[in-house]
Chains A and B, each alone.
Chain A
Amino acid sequence: MRRSLIIVLSMLLAGAGLGTGAYFAARRVCVQRLAHDADDLEWLRTEFHLSEPELQRARLLHEGYLPKCAEMCARIAAKQQELQAALAAGRGVTPEAERKLAEVAALRTQCQTQMLRHFYEVSQTMPAEQGRRYLAEMQRLTLGFHDQFERSMSGDAPAHHGHH
């Protein structure tokens, strides 16, 4: 019985080891091969089945949008520093801090508007159905976070989040 037990256990271990090894090796190879093509628009191409001309149009829009996005990010970062400085004075929420807060919020709104406009433009380069799906997905991914956050604050969140 002891010998049989050793045989069964070692075969099970060998099998589990082999299966697990194959799993990790295959996963790693797959991730490395697919990550090798580090194009920002790769996801657009595969997820929305874009043809080469469609991808080229989306790329043009993408490259035109990036400098605007970077500029907006820089402005938000600068404004946030000003807000931090106003709050760091330790005098509470002063009118100055409140004004900076409103400016940061306005810049963020501007940034989001610009971003959504870009998404609409990109969606126009795709076939209608894919464009609709792209827009819905981008809105979910970029605006969804705020919705989720606000819902959790208002108590509409799922029960496991608890009450704040």
Chain B
Amino acid sequence: MNNTLSQPDDAKLSQLLREARPAPPLPPGFQNAVWRRLEKAEPPQEPFSLAGWLDRCAAWLLRQRLAAAGLAVLLLVGALVGVMDGVSLSKQAAQQRYLASVSPMSHTP
């Protein structure tokens, strides 16, 4: 019964308190900034575990863009090294062909 009677007073009191201590308006983007800082904050250091590391590796590898980029890089590197090796081999073969034609006694290193 006391509660019912005191409700209008409580509301009045709250309003008086709010008016007595007005809160300054928050700057624009305040909430976003707080979230960004929370995200940037370093996570607590966990002790190293192989399982955890493997899980993180697997999760990283399973990201489609990263996996595709990694495979593309490997493909390109493999092809590039192959072309360089192929050019070098062809050059050697051409040199041996010329040598064989002019010097049957030749020795190629």
Write the residues of chain A forming the contact surface with B, with a CB cutoff of 8 angstroms. Answer: 1, 3-5, 7-8, 11, 14-16, 18-31, 34-35, 38, 40-44, 46-47, 62, 65-66, 69, 73, 108, 111-112, 115, 118-119, 141-142, 144-145
Contacts and interface: CB of A to CB of B under 8 A. Distances in A.
Interface string B76-109: 1111111101110111011101110111111111
Contacts of B10: none
A39 to B, nearest CB: 8
A43 B95 contact: yes
Contacts of A145: 105-107
Contact of A26 (B54, B57, B79, B104): B79
Residues of B contacting A: mostly: helix
Interface of B: 50-51, 54-55, 57-58, 61-62, 67, 70-71, 74-83, 85-87, 89-91, 93-95, 97-99, 101-109
Contacts of A27: 82-83, 85-86, 89
Contact of A4 (B58, B75, B106): B58
Given A18-B75, A22-B74, A22-B78, A142 B105 contact: yes
Given A26-B80, A30-B90, A142-B99, 18 more contacts: A1-B50, A4-B55, A4-B57, A4-B58, A7-B58, A7-B62, A8-B58, A19-B77, A22-B74, A25-B79, A26-B86, A27-B83, A29-B86, A30-B82, A38-B97, A40-B98, A112-B105, A144-B107
B52 to A, nearest CB: 9
